[in-house]
Structure 1
């Protein structure tokens, strides 16, 4: 991907327009974490543990890195879980083979949940064009996961080009989001606890199952956050906690503004409209677990 600056003549974006656009793009990107096809493709390479699959498909763009790099770039996973699978996974499947298998799995996933008609539609080609145009203004500096994925070739087929662009925009925002979290003084699990407390993050059940944390880790993080006045005794965000999460999201918006300014207000609106339709179809197809998001703990 090339890097360019936003046009000075670009129409000003409405508040949070970039965030809304990112949210639908990210949702489409995220389908491959929950659908079986990518796991099947990695299984054919000999990587069968779901956690190893998760680390491999997202870290492969970085090369055969060790657990420290994965912990730094993924931010909210427990290091001991990462070290259990990385770098051992690269002895089973080389990063370039993982990337190829991931793309095959994404192709199968999108064809199943969207249907061949949508995959081959003019709307998909339009969405790919718009999303790729937005990535032209992304910056590699200080954004390791984005930069690694930006070095990958753009797939030729529009639905895969759209997914690739969505991945770039997701990682670009995600890298900036980590800066905002650290500036707010949150560590990995504290970030998860406060996000879950908003009702928009993963449930503790999914945090424990995918990030490697245990209930005692969660409880200790809650205690630290109570001491800071971020959570109340019931584990809900206090007024200060709500304000903290709002500041984090606004800071993330600022750090992620360039691609959406570059695309322009009309382009962002259209890309959001197209992406919303795709995500709606994915939801209808059951692409996401019903208990993925919310506040309820599996043990409380």
Structure 2
């Protein structure tokens, strides 16, 4: 394996560790509680309020484009009407309060206040200095937000930036591979590393008919076989997508350097394991469904 491939693999492991902890807030009762107090009670509206608020008072079009694998009709059902119930500024403040409560519960007060958390925050923020804004709407929007003072919130903020930076690049790779939103979900689930199909259908508002139609298109391209498994071509395409995503996301980890990436991965993995042990994700999220 080449040194470039080893660096890409190390960067991906680092991203996965940070993203695991970042994403726990989407499943947290703290987020539901904070936004319900502001009048947002539909679970899918909660998701849009939490993730799209950084974009400002936008309508459905930009959010559908940025989120990529959500059905536009679902997005339009909630946006821009959502901003009449809660302002983006209120939603962002509610999200940060929820993250604070969630991390304290999942990791414990000792870990939240530890030197290791402060070190991780410093490393993750340094990595974000290697991010780029061009053609990355979700990253660029979050990059305009202030860095929280508390180390555990600064760490989460940096993890958010790194997650959205990679995600925006991943969307570009999916476009280049000519996979639309449902096709991207079907192929990712077929790798065995994606989220549960039924959970995806519910949260993205696709139907089984949409899923089956996407699978048919993929079979016609020779990417999926009749049993729903990836063909050799399909497996190769998913590998190419991940490799291109790695290439587009190399900047933050090059900025951090090999030792910094290794140390951040070590710290981030420890935090992520603690969150998983605390039940951060419902069992229904993962698996093929």
Shift of residue 13 of structure 1?
6.0
Determine helix, strand or coil for the equivalent of 1:294: coil
Two-structure CA RMSD over aligned residues (Å): 1.1
Match of 2:52 in 1: 59
| Pick aligned residue for 1:45 from 38, 47, 56 | 38
Q: Which residue of 2 aligns with 1:108?
A: 101
**Which residue in 2 is equivalent to 1:290?**
283
Q: Provide the residue aligned with 1:256 in structure 2.
A: 249
Residue 291 of structure 1: how far off its partner (Å): 2.3
List gaps (5 residues or longer) in structure 1.
1-10
Find the counterpart in structure 1 of residue 23 from structure 2. 30
- 1:205: how far off? 1.1
Please state how far the C-alpha of 1:292 moved relative to its aligned partner. Answer: 1.3
Give the match for residue 145 of structure 2.
Answer: 152
Task: Say how many residue pairs are matched.
Answer: 286
Counterpart of 2:226 (choices 222, 228, 233) is 233
Residue equivalent to 1:219: 212
Q: Distance in 2 between matches of 1:151 and 1:145?
A: 10
Contact in 2 for aligned 1:12/1:265 (Cα 8 Å): no
User: Which residue does the alignment assign to 2:173?
Assistant: 180
Give, in whole Å, the separation in 2 of the partners of 1:59 and 1:27.
Answer: 19
Find out whether 1:134 has 2:137 as its counterpart. Answer: no
Q: 1:169 aligns with which of 162, 170, 178?
A: 162
CA separation of 1:15/1:142 partners in 2, compared to 1, >3 Å: closer, same or farther?
A: closer
User: Which of 199, 207, 212 is the equivalent residue of 2:192?
Assistant: 199
Distance in 2 (CA, whole Å) between partners of 1:78 and 1:207 is 11
Q: Is the 8 A contact 2:124 2:159 kept in 1?
A: yes
8 Å CA contact 1:202–1:293 kept in 2: the answer is: yes
Which one of 73, 85, 91 corresponds to residue 78 of structure 2? Answer: 85
Query: What displacement does 1:250 show?
Result: 0.1
Q: Whole-Å Cα distance in 1 between the matches of residues 213 and 267 of structure 2?
A: 42
For 1:276 and 1:34, the matched residues in 2 are separated by: 19
SS in 2 for 1:64: coil
More helix by share: 2
Q: Do the aligned residues in 2 keep the contact of 1:60 with 1:95 (CA within 8 Å)?
A: yes
TM-score when normalising by structure 1: 0.94
TM-score by length of 2: 0.97
- Residue 4 of structure 1 is matched in structure 2 by none
Pair 1:153–1:198, CA change in 2 (3 A): same
Alpha-carbon distance between aligned partners in 1 of 2:84 and 2:280, rounded to the nearest angstrom: 31
Aligned counterparts of 2:194 and 2:282: Cα–Cα separation in 1:
13
- Write the distance in 1 (CA, Å) between the matches of 2:114 and 2:183: 42
Preserved CA contact (<8 Å) 1:64 1:87: yes
Deviation of the 1:14 alpha carbon: 3.0
Partners of 1:13 and 1:261 within 8 A in 2: no
- Report the Cα offset of residue 236 of structure 1: 0.5
Where 2:283 maps in the other structure, the secondary structure is: coil
